[in-house]
Structure 1
């Protein structure tokens, strides 16, 4: 039995469910943490934690009809399998909860959502790193893999620790911002000032003779970091947009590295905790001594495992343990978080396919399938990138793995379209192979369909 199952059983059996503090105590006690540690993490007084815990142990003892307390909690329940009665209780609870809280998978998974599936050790590594003075975290994964959902939780953890947080999205910057390094760094400084609720004072610190990078560094050190007492977590989203300007990207990324190195020597720089979020591999030619990606913590978000898919299915009210459903869905879409969740939504949502997974899979790679709107965005991108389209067509029509030019292979891999092992490429999942074989018969067919004619070929929403 897992702690998630223990929590679900108590939620299902208690009229009023569990409070947030009760759940925190259960999960921390399962890990063997002391009441003092639990109180510190939960931001409650230790006496309050002990009182709530005493009530919890009584609930557990009554539920399992045997004495359960903090010292034997894990040992008593961890090795005990779920009974059929308890499995049914969880199943019915999930169905009832899903009927109330079913969410269409669009955008980041909210902090309150029941549909966020942790991918250990990703979250704990990120939480530990953000608490490290002067740290840098690089989060890399294709679109729809859960980067934004992880960032939400990272920001929430930082806020709970009393840190100031700033999240900037380079996608929101006007194109003119990227016309020069000076404009870009001034945009960065002005927006960080605004997010920290400080008056922008760029002209007081900017000096043409010293250059933009030095001016930006002084602005952060002498003004921004000096003005706040607590550490600052600076999240830079869509860093990919900077990669499109190689010369400027090289300067900016070397600046980030210099800040990291200064944190080892200058105490005030230890306040800054940087999080760089991007989809594609780093294709900007950088000397390793200048790149921030060769230091700090690099997180590449993995696909869901079979167990995680089953857990997500259970949270949708589907009982997929010991069935072929998980294998069937993963055979089509792998462990891609968004593709998995979209299928589960349609299986249980209003107007869905009434739990008929086979119907979903039969239509999956067609224009009538649930994935068509998502997949046609890739078609638009490939239409604007004939070289990528040619290479991808080769991959999806080959019977074995294909060797591509490194730059092309990295781009397709960064888009999430292919798996890359060494210099050999295969389709990321069977869905992509089947869908794009029918949609992109040959490169010659890569003309914009009439119904898509009004859309821009360089759509980046993939």
Structure 2
């Protein structure tokens, strides 16, 4: 098929397939050897439903519009040599592109997001759960701060809306305007605001799909009955006026659950969510389940501050722990930072030893290296107040200063002694200061250097 002289625009759906192929071509510096089946599997790994026949059509379409050329390497399902026709232009633009330090949620179109095992666990549970008649999945994503919880939630939302045709509601207890500071001190106020937030997010989700299932909603103030508990007011309104009218598959994502920890509303609010999982998301009568699938995310760092001894929402749903990056993932991520030379094995091992693979620390390190900092300079500045990791170090220092039990336990471990306080070790682990691996207690080198240098 002749190559077109001009590149034609793609549809939104075609852009999603192109983005997957584009990343593969970037890794291959403008070309890649892929069969139709290879491309289908790549798409499936990126949450696109794609058969081999669909992959073939998409590749031919990308060739037709002038994005790629394809040269067959033999017969049958042998790979094509796929060449990005505009790679030289991309490379010039990419090489001059200013790389910004990564902060907050990783944008959906950013190459700096790395999929981990947690992504696959969440997606598979939600796909299977939506097809089950007897129950709906309840997933709890937990990890210390800046491990990627919110970024994962946003990708779950994108996958469910774009690939599964779900109506997805998203609320953030730590960021939405509904959840001001004092709201967590009173259960009635919290659940009223929570209900308001769900009305807004599901209404918006339907409007994005051009649907109007939630028209003529009754006024929440008039519905809120002072003679009923806040739990009943909230659940009754959501059941009758939000979840029941939505006939499509639906999912509720809740970020920032840790905002309620340590507040007067902690226990009743978490018990309320537990009751949803036990009574409303499972078949307990002949009536169909109208409650959505639910995914919540929360930081485990408050465990140490609040003296939490076990998991919040114990035995509720599926727990998904976000893990640190592996050495292979560090290498993969480093290719996205336009480093002048690829990382050597000793350099990767140095980064892993220094940071333990913590995603935010690794991204900070790679950003500094991409801006010209040498590994020697990175090591020297690692614990300095103007260094790239100071925010993390100062937060860890403040945590230990405010908790004597954690302070003494951490001090013993740094000296190579045993700490017999299992609760303190548990809380230090949840705060990200320790890692317990096959009964071995480990502290990353960054914290060792900082706290052994007179900061504890």
The answer to whether the aligner puts 1:357 opposite 2:375 as a matched pair is: yes
User: Are residues 67 and 40 of structure 1, via their aligned partners in 2, closer, same or farther at CA, if it must alter by over 3 Å?
Assistant: closer
**Residue deviations 1:235-266 (CA, integer Å, cap 9, x gap):** 22221122213x63332223222222322226
**Residue deviations 1:346-371 (CA, integer Å, cap 9, x gap):** 1112xx42xx1122113212334321
Alignment partner, residue 266 of structure 2: 249
CA distance in 2 between partners of 1:93 and 1:326 (Å): 27
1:38 CA displacement: 1.9
CA contact (8 A) 1:233 1:274 kept: yes
CA contact (8 A) 2:170 2:254 kept: yes
**Residue deviations 1:175-234 (CA, integer Å, cap 9, x gap):** 322223222211211111122336573344434444222222212111111233333322
Pairing 1:228-307 to 2, within 5 Å after superposition: 228-245=246-263, 248-261=265-278, 262-265=280-283, 269-280=289-300, 292-307=313-328
CA contact (8 A) 2:63 2:70 kept: no
Runs of 5+ unmatched residues, structure 2: 1-20, 131-135, 204-213
Runs of 4+ in 1 over 6 A off after TM superposition: 22-25, 53-56, 92-96
CA contact (8 A) 1:235 1:275 kept: yes
User: Are residues 123 and 399 of structure 1, via their aligned partners in 2, closer, same or farther at CA, if it must alter by over 3 Å?
Assistant: same
Alignment partner, residue 412 of structure 1: 428
The answer to whether the aligner puts 1:341 opposite 2:363 as a matched pair is: yes
1:109 CA displacement: 1.1
> Which has the larger helix fraction?
1
1:402 CA displacement: 2.5
User: Are residues 37 and 341 of structure 1, via their aligned partners in 2, closer, same or farther at CA, if it must alter by over 3 Å?
Assistant: closer
CA contact (8 A) 2:37 2:55 kept: no
1:136 CA displacement: 1.0
Of 110, 113, 116, the residue aligned with 1:116 is 113
User: Are residues 51 and 96 of structure 1, via their aligned partners in 2, closer, same or farther at CA, if it must alter by over 3 Å?
Assistant: closer
Alignment partner, residue 398 of structure 2: 380
CA contact (8 A) 2:255 2:296 kept: yes
> What TM-score do the two structures reach when normalised by structure 1?
0.73
Alignment partner, residue 163 of structure 1: 166
Alignment partner, residue 325 of structure 1: 347
CA contact (8 A) 1:404 1:424 kept: no
**Residue deviations 1:55-94 (CA, integer Å, cap 9, x gap):** 69x96753xx72376x233xx99xxxxxxxx9xxx9x988
Alignment partner, residue 124 of structure 2: 128
Q: Cα RMSD between the aligned structures?
A: 4.1
The answer to whether the aligner puts 1:176 opposite 2:182 as a matched pair is: yes
Give the count of matched residue pairs: 400
Moved more, 165-174 or 110-119: 165-174
CA contact (8 A) 2:243 2:290 kept: no
Runs of 5+ unmatched residues, structure 1: 15-21, 78-85, 442-462
Find the residue that maps to 1:416 and give its secondary structure.
coil
Find the residue that maps to 1:313 and give its secondary structure.
helix
> What TM-score do the two structures reach when normalised by structure 2?
0.74
The answer to whether the aligner puts 1:28 opposite 2:40 as a matched pair is: yes
